[in-house]
A and B are shown apart, each in its own frame.
Chain A
Amino acid sequence: MASETLTSTEYIKHHLQNLTFGKHPDGGWGIAHSAQEAREMGFWAIHLDTMFWSIALGVLFLWLFRKAALQATSGTPTGWLNFVEWVVEFIDDNVRGSFSGKNDMVAPLALTLFVWVLLQNTMDLVPVDWIPEIAKLIGIEYMKVVPTTDPNATFGMSIAVFYLMLHYSLKIKGPIGFASELTMQPFEAKNPLLKVLFIPVNLFLEGIGLLSKPVSLSLRLFGNLFAGEMIFILIALLFSGGIVFAVLGGALQWAWAVFHILIVLLQAFIFMVLTVVYLDMAHHEH
């Protein structure tokens, strides 16, 4: 909640600041105490809150699903295993539907992405001040609890996906096949001279097409979740505006949270499906 000592701008800025660990310009390592300090740390710094929550949620996912995997039987499934099987079959159906190649990694990758991103997005539904206020009590200055509102997290995943796309493109199509896919279309010609002339144009178009995939993949997730988080923060500002605004804020927060459940789920699903589609394209020979 915004206290009297904080202006609205400061409150919002505070909520958008990650807990950054890195090298101070003066040479010492430590946690940045302001947005300014964090920015000055440059590239060799790490967002402790993003890393902590994403890894914690990833471990939670692995632990919960591993528990189900250990009790997986061909007999009658019960309770948690039932749910896990439902999720796994949902992912399996999706992967079978959109991935035509043969690769044992794609389905587990899709499952990991879907559940992990979903869990990270779900953190958005926790009221924006709860965890940061608790963190403040134990002396942690900044705490951004939704990892997917940090572009580092979404780009981190999409870069890994992009690497896999390149890896499988080269592996399946071969360097020449991949190069020709990038240079011999969309403009095609029978004439060899024309063909050579088209190469830079094609490379430019296809290069943009290729690079836009990881960028759009991560920015879509980041943008949606960041916007959602921002609205929660703005609604939270209402709580400091007196009883009428606080009640209104409560109602708005509830309504937005209900709507946000859709976004949380949808964005996780889109991220998973697009990843599978991109990997399918990497496996697909023209």
Chain B
Amino acid sequence: MNINFTLFGQSLAFIVFVLFCMKYIWPPIMNALETRKKIIADGLAAAERGKRERELGEQRATEVIKEAKGKVAEMLASAEKRGAEIVEQAKNDAKVEGERIIAAARSEIDQEAQRAREALRKDVASLATVGAERILSKEIDSAVHAKMLDELAGQL
């Protein structure tokens, strides 16, 4: 157990090992560790960001849905109103049309009645004439009395 030159041999070996470790072992491993740490941190940050974005998206989607629901309700209301209006209009139109048809029918009936009355008048006149002719066949000369009968018929 003598102290001898081994002392410096050991020191030298130690220094060489430290230098090698410092140059070729420590930096690459530390680099890898640092890079990995950064990648993981970035990944976590991205995940966090994604989560926040999703939340925002959900919020936005809820808003859009709410807005759409409001619009739909509005549209439904206006459509109902419009429908009621159309029905009302149709009712009015139908009424007017009905009245018009009734009026036309009435005037038709009037005309028909007029025409019937005219025909009747003519028939009555001729019937009266025929009757009078039959009653007075011999006594009355149809030719003489025709003028007088026409006048009578015209007064009818």
> Which A residues are closer than 8 A to B by beta carbons?
16, 18, 20, 22, 38-39, 41-47, 50-51, 54-55, 58, 61-62, 65-66, 68-70, 72-75, 77, 84-85, 88-89, 92, 104-105, 107-109, 111-113, 116, 147, 150-153, 155-157, 159-160, 163
A184 CA / B40 CA spacing, docked (Å): 50
Smallest CB gap from B22: residue in A: A108
Among A104, A147, A152, find the residue whose CB has the most chain B CB atoms closer than 10 A: A152
With a cutoff of 8 Å between Cβ atoms, the chain B residues found around residue A74 in the complex are 32, 35-36, 39
Within 8 A of A (CB), among B1-59: 1-11, 13-15, 17-18, 20-22, 24-26, 28-33, 35-36, 39
- Taken residue by residue from 113 to 146, chain B's Cβ proximity to chain A (1 for < 8 Å, 0 otherwise) reads as 0000000000000000000000000000000000
CB distance from B20 to the nearest CB of A (A): 5
The reply to whether B4 and A108 contact each other, CB–CB distance below 8 Å, is: no
CB distance from A52 to the nearest CB of B (A): 10
The reply to whether B31 and A46 contact each other, CB–CB distance below 8 Å, is: no
The 10 closest A-B pairs by CB, nearest first: A156-B10, A152-B6, A74-B35, A72-B32, A108-B22, A108-B26, A69-B28, A47-B6, A74-B36, A108-B21
The reply to whether A38 and B25 contact each other, CB–CB distance below 8 Å, is: no
Count residues of B near A (Cβ-Cβ below 8 Å): 31
With a cutoff of 8 Å between Cβ atoms, the chain A residues found around residue B30 in the complex are 88, 92, 107
The reply to whether A46 and B4 contact each other, CB–CB distance below 8 Å, is: yes
The reply to whether A152 and B26 contact each other, CB–CB distance below 8 Å, is: no
Among A109, A113, A147, find the residue whose CB has the most chain B CB atoms closer than 10 A: A109
- 10 sample A-B contacts, Cβ–Cβ < 8 Å, listed by A number: A44-B5, A45-B5, A46-B4, A62-B25, A65-B21, A74-B32, A85-B32, A152-B10, A155-B7, A156-B7
The reply to whether A51 and B6 contact each other, CB–CB distance below 8 Å, is: yes
The reply to whether A151 and B36 contact each other, CB–CB distance below 8 Å, is: no
A interface: dominant SS: helix
Task: Given A92-B30, A157-B10, A160-B11, decide whether A112 and B18 contact each other with a Cβ distance below 8 A.
Answer: yes
Task: Given A51-B10, A88-B33, decide whether A43 and B4 contact each other with a Cβ distance below 8 A.
Answer: yes
The reply to whether A55 and B29 contact each other, CB–CB distance below 8 Å, is: no
A41 CA / B6 CA spacing, docked (Å): 13
B26 touches which one: A51, A55, A107, A160 (CB < 8 A)?
Answer: A107
With a cutoff of 8 Å between Cβ atoms, the chain A residues found around residue B39 in the complex are 74
The reply to whether A46 and B1 contact each other, CB–CB distance below 8 Å, is: no
A157 touches which one: B1, B11, B24 (CB < 8 A)?
Answer: B11
The reply to whether A105 and B18 contact each other, CB–CB distance below 8 Å, is: yes
The reply to whether B4 and A20 contact each other, CB–CB distance below 8 Å, is: yes
With a cutoff of 8 Å between Cβ atoms, the chain A residues found around residue B2 in the complex are 18, 20, 38-39, 41, 45
The reply to whether B29 and A72 contact each other, CB–CB distance below 8 Å, is: yes
Smallest CB gap from A65: residue in B: B25
Smallest CB gap from A153: residue in B: B10
The reply to whether B32 and A73 contact each other, CB–CB distance below 8 Å, is: yes
A112 CA / B15 CA spacing, docked (Å): 10
With a cutoff of 8 Å between Cβ atoms, the chain B residues found around residue A153 in the complex are 6, 10
A273 CA / B139 CA spacing, docked (Å): 171
Smallest CB gap from A64: residue in B: B25
A172 CA / B18 CA spacing, docked (Å): 21
Task: Given A62-B17, A74-B35, A150-B6, decide whether A111 and B1 contact each other with a Cβ distance below 8 A.
Answer: no
Smallest CB gap from A116: residue in B: B17
Task: Given A45-B2, A58-B17, A108-B18, decide whether A152 and B7 contact each other with a Cβ distance below 8 A.
Answer: yes
